[in-house]
Chains A and B, each alone.
Chain A
Amino acid sequence: MSRQATTSQTVGPFFSIGMTRMKRDDLVSAGASGERVTISGQVFDGDGKPVSDAILEIWQANTYGKYAHPADQQDKPVEASFSGYGRIPTDDEGKFRFTTIKPGQVPDLEGKLQAPHIVVSVFARGLLRRLVTRIYFPDEPTNAADFVLNLVEPSRRETLIAKMIAGVNGALKWDVILQGSSETVFFDCGL
């Protein structure tokens, strides 16, 4: 008989003791190639209050659409200077900010290319298990045919698409709303 995956439990309010050492909010410092973007935002609860004890983890492909992982068998360049992983805690005002590369496109289950995206885990006090979501990019023509965006009803898709900050080149805004009428779309990814 096969085993069951271990039960998830909340990170609690004091996760910074164990998780700060691996904080990664600048994914480009080692000199990755591609289009730099800085994504900032805020995490809110169901009352619209900022969540100051949340932590995001991100995972993404490099500018060529290649993951630094052996399961990615695509014939595309890997860059030793780009791991694709980030870990960003919120501050006292629930704000977070990270700098990365806009990822290239990676295939979906039918071999068609997905729109550029970053996968995100949200951990916080009060979350007994992580929440999984995605960040997509504004003014990106491939969004329209993206297989995952099309799983989402049109009125909610915008919660997954970062917004340009006017007048600041490469600056994007993307908030996480845990609960409520403008709640961010979260995915059932398994655990």
Chain B
Amino acid sequence: MAKIAPYRRPNPDTQPPYLHPAYVSTIKRAPAKSLIYLPHTLSEVTGPSFTGAAIDVKACDLTRQHSGNPLGERIIVSGRVMDEEGRPLRHSLIEVWQANAAGRYLHKRDQHNAPLDPNFTGCGHTLTDAEGRYRFVTIRPGAYPWGNHHNAWRPAHIHFSLFGAAFASRLVTQMYFPGDPLLPFDPVFNSTADENARNRLISLFDWENTIPSQALGFKFDIVLSGREATPMET
């Protein structure tokens, strides 16, 4: 039999718990029973890949999906996707979605009374390149109110969905913006115990990728679980 190297398990403090009562929606949706430890088999160390027809090369620019320009502050969000050893995740799908500049999602259940933008849908995708790099052009999303508690506001964020090489490396996360005054009050952001882990969700202002007279840059690197070096006999 071939040997199977499992994927790394995260340090528990660096990931959120299922039950985090400050985020009220977790109360009835978090499992009450203990999770059962699943050793990684062939089913977990394999996973889908997306290339060719599944990818629209124009989808990395969220400001060019309609006839006009969306309102708001144009930004470049870019970074690298790698595993814990810094090895790049190549040709790997990233999906993003977000609110518009006014803090409104193009979604039937978003009841916020901020305006929709006819020139902004708020979704995009891309593949990482041969060095694991990605780049999106978009609009800085607005903060928005939500019903979690009195006067609750989500800090501005962009949702990121990543697959990596295997089922075991699947990750959905949110990217935040530096200096956002709402971050200390947000139960989603603060659900994770480890402060350094939380802070890695905050993008860095990025002069290098700022385009003069065009768009500010923000850098957001993403780390996915990688395989352990030592294979297990199977």
Contacts and interface: CB of A to CB of B under 8 A. Distances in A.
B29 A179 contact: yes
Interface residues of B, number: 90
A119 interface: yes
Nearest to A2: B84
Interface string B14-51: 11111010010111111111011111111111111110
Chain A at the B interface: mostly helix, strand, loop or mixed?
loop
Contact of B225 (A14, A67, A190): A190
A18 interface: yes
Interface residues of A, number: 77
Contact of B168 (A19, A147, A190): A190
A9 B174 contact: yes
Interface in A153-191: 156, 178-180, 183-191
Interface of A: 2-19, 21-22, 45-47, 49, 51, 53, 57, 59-61, 67-69, 71-74, 83-85, 106-111, 114, 117, 119, 121, 123-132, 147-148, 151-152, 156, 178-180, 183-191
16 contacts: A7-B194, A9-B174, A12-B174, A17-B107, A17-B123, A18-B95, A18-B96, A18-B125, A71-B45, A71-B46, A109-B4, A109-B41, A126-B25, A178-B29, A184-B31, A187-B36
Given A8-B173, A85-B47, A126-B26, 16 more contacts: A3-B85, A5-B224, A5-B225, A7-B200, A14-B97, A19-B161, A46-B29, A46-B32, A53-B109, A59-B47, A61-B43, A71-B4, A132-B38, A186-B31, A189-B44, A189-B168
Interface of B: 1-2, 4, 7-11, 14-18, 20, 23, 25-33, 35-50, 54, 82-86, 95-97, 99, 105-107, 109-110, 121-125, 157, 159, 161, 165-174, 188-189, 191-192, 194, 196-198, 200-201, 222-225, 232-234
